[in-house]
Amino acid sequence: MIDAVVKIDAASVDRLIDASEADPEALIGILQDVQKEWGFLPIPALKRVSERLGVPYNRVWAVATFYEAFTFQPHGRTHIMVCTGTTCHVNDGLQVLKAIEDELIIECGQSTPDGKFSLEKVHCLGACGVGPMVVVNDQYHGHMTRAKVIKLLDELKSRTEVET
Amino acid sequence: MADRIEITINEWRVKADNREPLINVCRREGIDVPTLCHHDRIKPYGVCRVCMVKVSWGRKSKYVTACNYPVENDDVIDTESRDVMSLRKMSIEALLGRCPNEQEIVKFAASHGVTSSRFPPHKPGGDDCILCGLCVGVCNEVVGAKALGFMERGPEREVVTPFMEFPESCIACGACSALCPTTKMTMEHQKTEILKSRHGDIRPCRYALMGLYPGGICANNYRCHACDVDQKYREIAGDEHPIFIARTEITDGGEAA
Amino acid sequence: MKLTSPTQLDQVARDFRASLEGYKTTISLCGGTNCTACGCNEVLEVLKTELEARNLTYTVRLIVTGCQGLCSEAPLISINPDDVLYCNVEPGWIKRIVSDTVIEGKTIPDYCFTDPVNGTTYEKFSEIPFFSDQTRVLLANSPHIDPSDIRDYISVGGYRALAKALFEMEPGEIVDEISASGLRGRGGGGFPTGRKWASGAKAPGDHKWVICNADEGNPGAYMDGSLLESNPHLIIEGMIIGAKAVGAGAPGGGYIYVRNEYPLALSRISEAINEARRWGLLGNDILGSGLSFDIRINRGGGAFVCGESTALMASLEGKPGEPRPKYVHTVEKGYHNEPSVLNNVETWANVPGIILDGAQKYREHGTDASPGTKIFSLVGKVRHTGLVEIPMDRSVRSLVEGIGGGAPEGKKLKAVQTGGPSGGCLPVSQLDLQLDFDVLNEAGSMMGAGGIIVMDEDTCMVDIALHFIRFNTDESCGKCTPCREGLQEMERVLTHITEGKAEMDDLGHLEELGQWMIGGCLCALGATAPHPVLSTIKYFRDEYETHIKGHKCPGGVCRELIEYSVIEANCTGCGDCVTVCPTGAVSGLPDKVHKIDMLLCTKCDECYKACKFEAIGK
């Protein structure tokens, strides 16, 4: 769990806290907003949230590490989620995951060294009728197979080339 | 005064307060129900599952943890039937498997007839923590320092200081390590070392950190058990203070941990 | 505008219907998560452009609905009043659909649903057996209404049950009606909703809460998300009625706990709540009845265990989602230690219908003990996947083989999994079981949320058990010993079995672990987690034995136990396997028998899937 280097100014954290009326019960929602802002949960921001909400450090840390949604490392510019729900599993979703791992030469839960791609698996995205499912930066792709996902990755790679 | 009720434990009729924790009734009646995560001063956490017993109402029954089950009139409780014992033993076996090299756990298991475990440890040499939560409970509820908590979940769950950093709010009271049934809790030790590394008037007495002795400076190199101040504040703060609770009940009064 | 009396609802409905009179045709594009994953947004853009180009926007109403149900044929477009459903719609089809069907009123058979078994093409939506075999009550409006427009819901009778509950019924009468209907909680356990409400109403306290559990994390079940996407006001209406029944009006209130992994459902329900507030259906003095009630949304942080009521409430309070013992029920002491009535999405969705039409009418469907209809998500190795709503007296077979059309590609059915990670696998011999709460429990499975995952001969039951145990291990909060340690131990033993490293004694160990977890776990997640293992051992013991003793995986799934080879007699040398092999392990000259080099083979199964002649053995 390495804290990525990023500048946190208290005012931006405060803005997010104030948007939820500094309600201690809104802790999870505020952390989701913090993560949206920086792409991950920076420790200084967590401390600020804790102090402003009057929620002790140990509870903020417990919440931040308990829920799957939170990460302490930024995602890659292209974030790929592979569904490993039961339907996707029986339809060979693991092979799709493996194909992506092989193609990007990373393991699930990691980012490529250049920061372009990151990969994680998720439990069921509610699109079981069209599994295996892959989500790329919030875009859903159904009926994936090894061949299709490799084609998709090629497209994504050429797109990120153009962008950079 | 709470309503008095009658319940049956192992075929004995006993009186109890309505919704009193079952463990209190058992202890009062001299019925042995083992626990690993229970302490009278801490809200029952109910996680080790070693104090499992069976409650029946007519033909219906279920397994409950004695530490936090509130008794009701006419509950029929069984603390030693074969099924109860096998649930209890399996929990002990699992914890022994997790921490095969923790002497307290090994002894506890042996005293319940569990000498080997089919559960292999999750890391080489075994874990040093059974996740009973006593340290977290005492630190949060009794001491109020909130210097310990859980992180992660499932297999990754562990007890840590917040953000895994050195906890500024720790008052080095030692309650966590005193209650810890394993060798996990050494934080208070570390904190004391840090205090020792300071010089002159920035070496605060631990009772100063606990708010009992404002401005106090340590003159005894943190050998608290051999210090007059320790003796004095035990009298002033009373045995109710967290550090004394921890010492009197769990250790024999030496410097905790 | 804020509605201040129930009669204004009828006015809204009349005005809305009048505003639609100019439209000759309504095109409903399914915008559910499944269709989104199959490119419905591209279809929508093309459709919009085409309608504008042809100047049809004043005569054709285009709406994006929630899930219409037949997800295997996504994306879907339905066109009314022609009663047409087009399947697997591609952007390139739009020009023809607009010119032929919308303008000329001609159905295009090529785009309609065709049964893959007998080749019948269905030109009418309502005649497709997948739909005509269902009894759609909760899902009745989903394919037809615009979830983002509250008036559309009001125009099909929405919020009338609320008006009845607010002005014609006492709280006790509402509870009695729900009790009389026999409605049982749709989240998993099937607890009688009426009994829960009665306890909630009776529990002392000025602050009471009604909570909707939309943390649908059950893999394979997506009806709750789909209901929120397609008909969010149905749930809101149910909750307001519940609030009146149990006394959860202000200063209490309502919460909807939505999974963060459902972005579409989250935005639809948020939008719907805002609309309901604007129209005076949430907030102070609802419809002039004096009841004040509002609903807040809470986004989950991604934890399956938060579907458990005590964990959900801990999460609402901003804490880690750890369950606590339920020796005191949440309906007495839940959120903030105050009385809290928690039901899941589908349960709330049942409420308006029961109140409006009465408990007797509700009981016309289903069985005595499990009345009403239930939405199932029919997924896995089955021809037609999607959402199916049927009464609970139907059999598993009629659902899987009838509506679902059985396993695809001529494969044999092997098992049906119900109840998700808490449920079990039923073998083909149990397919005639009735799909009700108690029958499924007795068979060692459970209803759960209603996910029906179909498995064919290519599925390995040990692998499935391991899959669920891994899921539960990931999702366990780790608080109590049996769940945390038991799941890790089960995962270890099952992994050994799939690798051929286990012994027969391990089966007994697994069963013992299972009994320990059922009896010893703190919450329902842990206590039901062994079901997938125990039920597969019960019904598919031979498959476990083949793994352990024969070091073979009959389903051809466990990679440590399979070796690929070419069955020479069947191989035509077509080269399909060579093309798909990612490592070059398969080789051979055209029209000659091919061979596989096991040193290069990564067991990805691509050659097996690609071979049309059953010439790859494993």
HEC-encoded secondary structure of A16-65: HHHHCCCCHHHHHHHHHHHHHHHCCCCHHHHHHHHHHHCCCHHHHHHHHH
Instruction: Enter the tokens of residue C445.
Output: 């499975």
Alpha carbon separation from B47 to A120, B65, B206, C55, C477 (Å, rounded) = 31, 9, 32, 67, 11
Rounded distance between C-alpha atoms, residue B1 and residue A151, angstroms: 74
Q: What six digits make up the tokens of C617?
A: 């053995």
pLDDT band at B177 (very low <50, low <70, confident <90, very high): confident
Structure tokens, C123: 């030109």
Would you say B47 and C481 are in contact if contact means Cβ atoms under 8 Å apart?
yes
Which of B119, B185, B182 is closest to B148 using CA atoms? B185
pLDDT exceeding 90 applies to what percent of chain C? 91
Residues 6+ apart with CB under 8 A from C233: C147, C150, C153, C158, C159, C272, C275, C276
Mean pLDDT of chain C: 94
Encode pLDDT of C543-562 as tens digits: 999 999 999 999 999 999 99
CA C482 – CA C521 distance, rounded (Å) = 6
Q: Do A61 and B146 touch (CB under 8 A)?
A: no
- Distance, in Å, from the CA atom of C86 to the CA atom of C104, rounded to the nearest integer, reads 16
ipTM of the complex: 0.92
* Residue numbers of C between 300 and 329 with CB closer than 8 Å to A: 300-304, 315-322
Q: What pLDDT, on the 0 to 100 scale, is given for residue C400?
A: 96
By the 8 A CB rule, do C370 and C437 touch? yes
d(CA A58, CA C250): 33
The first and second tokens of residue C224, run together, are 């709750």
Q: Check: CB of residue C166 under 8 Å from CB of residue C291.
A: yes
**Residues in CB range of C474: below 8 A, 6 or more apart:** A123, B154
The whole-model pTM stands at 0.92
Report which of B143, B132, B149, B154 is spatially closest to residue A59, judged by C-alpha positions. Answer: B149
DSSP letter for each residue of C6-72:
THHHHHHHHHHHHHTTT-SEEEEEE-SHHHHHTTHHHHHHHHHHHHHHTT-TTTEEEEEES--S-GG
| CA gap C277, C260 in Å, rounded | 23
Q: What average pLDDT score do residues C216-245 get?
A: 95
Q: CA-CA distances (angstroms) from residue C213 to A86, C124, C228, C229? A: 21, 36, 11, 15
Average pLDDT, chain B: 85
The first and second tokens of residue B130, run together, are 């059974």
Nearest residue, CB atoms, C473 vs list B131, B152, B155? B155
pLDDT of residue B203: 78
pLDDT level of residue B242 (50, 70, 90 thresholds): low
| Confidence at residue A6, expressed as pLDDT on a 0 to 100 scale | 67
**If you average pLDDT over residues B197-220, what whole number do you get?**
76
Nearest alpha-carbon partner for C561 in C576, C572, C546: C546
Q: A86 — contact with chain C (CB < 8 Å)? A: yes
Helix, strand, coil percentages in chain B from 3-state DSSP, rounded to 5: 35, 15, 50
Tell the burial category of B125 from Cβ atoms under 10 Å away from its Cβ (0-12, 13-18, 19+). Answer: exposed
| Structure tokens belonging to residue B42 | 């801490």
| Interchain CB distance below 8 Å, C479 and B157 | yes
Q: What are phi and psi of A135, to 5 degrees?
A: -115, 125
Mean pLDDT over residues C129-141, rounded?
Answer: 95
Chain A residues with beta carbon closer than 8 angstroms to that of C36: 127, 140
Residues 92-131 (A) with a CB less than 8 A from some CB of C: 92, 95, 98-99, 102, 122-131
Say if A66 is an interface residue toward chain C (CB within 8 Å). yes
Residues of B with CB under 8 A from a CB of C: 46-50, 52, 63-65, 68-70, 83, 86-87, 90-91, 94-95, 97-98, 118-120, 122, 130-131, 150, 152-157
The whole-angstrom separation of Cα C318 and Cα C383 is 43
Q: B240: pLDDT confidence band, cut at 50, 70 and 90? A: low
Closest residue of chain C to B122, computed from CA coordinates: C488
| A36 min Cα distance to partner chain B (Å) | 20
| C581, C587 Cβ separation under 8 angstroms | no
Dump pLDDT digits (tens) for C71-104: 999 999 999 999 999 999 999 999 999 999 999 9
**Cis status, amide bond into B242, omega within 30 of 0:** no
- Residue B249: per-residue pLDDT: 43
Model confidence over C454-476: pLDDT tens digits?
999 999 999 999 999 999 999 99
* Side-chain half-sphere CA neighbours of A119 within 13 A: 20
Residue C409 has pLDDT above 70, yes or no: yes
* Alpha-carbon distances, residue C400 vs A136, C33, C532 (angstroms): 32, 22, 20
Is pLDDT at B250 greater than 50 in this prediction?
Answer: no
Residues of A in Cβ contact (< 8 Å) with B152: 65-66
B163, B164, B166, best to mutate vs chain A, most A CBs in 10 Å: B163
- Tell me what pLDDT residue B112 has: 96
C45-63: per-residue pLDDT in tens? 999 999 999 999 999 999 9
A47 in reach of chain B (CB within 8 A): yes
- Residues C131 and C142: their CA atoms lie apart, in Å, by 13
Chain C CB contacts of A69 under 8 Å are: 260, 300-302
Tell me how far CA of residue C383 lies from CA of B177, C398, C400, C420, C603, in angstroms: 60, 14, 9, 20, 26
CB contact under 8 A, C453 and A67: no
Could you tell me the two tokens for C482?
């049996």
Q: Read off the pLDDT band of A5 (50, 70, 90).
A: low
Judged by CB atoms closer than 8 Å, whether chains meet at C520 and B94 is answered as no
User: Shortest CB distance from C453 goes to which of A67, A87, A99?
Assistant: A87
Tell which residue, C32, C611, C94, C139, has the closest CA to residue C373: C139
| Count of all residues that appear for chain C in the document | 618
Q: How far apart are the first and last CA of chain B?
A: 40
Residue A3 has pLDDT above 60, yes or no: no
Within 8 A of A43 by CB-CB distance, chain B residues are: 163
C-alpha to C-alpha distance for B234 and B228, rounded to whole angstroms: 10
Closest CA relative to residue C117, chosen from C409, C400, C415:
C409
Confidence band for C609, pLDDT divided at 50, 70 and 90: confident
Find the CB nearest C481 among B68, B94, B154. Answer: B94
Task: Say if residues A17 and A30 touch (Cβ distance below 8 Å).
Answer: yes
**Is B184 in contact with B197 (CB distance < 8 Å)?**
no
Give how far C158 is from chain A: nearest CA, Å: 26
Interchain contact C479–B (C-beta under 8 A)? yes
Confidence band, pLDDT 50/70/90 cuts, at residue C254 = very high
How many C-alpha atoms does B70 have within 13 Å on its Cβ side?
Answer: 11
Tokens of A40: 């991950």
List pLDDT tens digits, range C352-364: 999 999 999 999 9
Which is nearest to C477 in space by CA: A68, B243, A149? A68
**DSSP-assigned states of every residue in C448-482:** TT-EEEEEETT--HHHHHHHHHHHHHHH----SHH
pLDDT at A1 > cutoff 70? no
State the first-to-last Cα distance of chain A, in angstroms, to the nearest integer: 27
Task: For residue C71, give both structure tokens.
Answer: 């997800």
Give mean pLDDT, residues C322-350.
95
Min CA distance, C485 vs chain B (Å)?
6
The residue type found at C53 is A
Q: What is the pLDDT of residue B207?
A: 76
Asked if the peptide bond before residue C91 counts as cis, ω within 30 degrees of 0, the response is no
Q: Are C579 and C586 in contact (CB under 8 A)?
A: no
Contacts of A58 in chain B (CB under 8 A): 136, 140, 146-149, 161-162
C256 pLDDT band, cuts 50/70/90, is very high
Does any CB of chain A come closer than 8 Å to the CB of residue C476?
no
Mean pLDDT in residue range C171-190: 95
What backbone torsions phi and psi does residue B56 show, to the nearest 5 degrees? Answer: -125, 150
> What is the arithmetic mean of pLDDT over C375-393?
95
Give the mean pLDDT of A73-87.
92
CB pairs under 8 A between A and C: 159
Cβ–Cβ below 8 Å for B87 and C473: no
Residue-level pLDDT at C604: 86
For tokens 């004043």, the residue is C58
* Direct distance between the N- and C-terminal alpha carbons of chain C, in angstroms, rounded to an integer: 67
Q: What is the pLDDT of residue A9?
A: 85
Q: Which pLDDT score, from 0 to 100, does residue B219 have?
A: 81
- pLDDT tens-digit series, residues A129-142: 898 999 999 899 99
C187 pLDDT more than 90: no
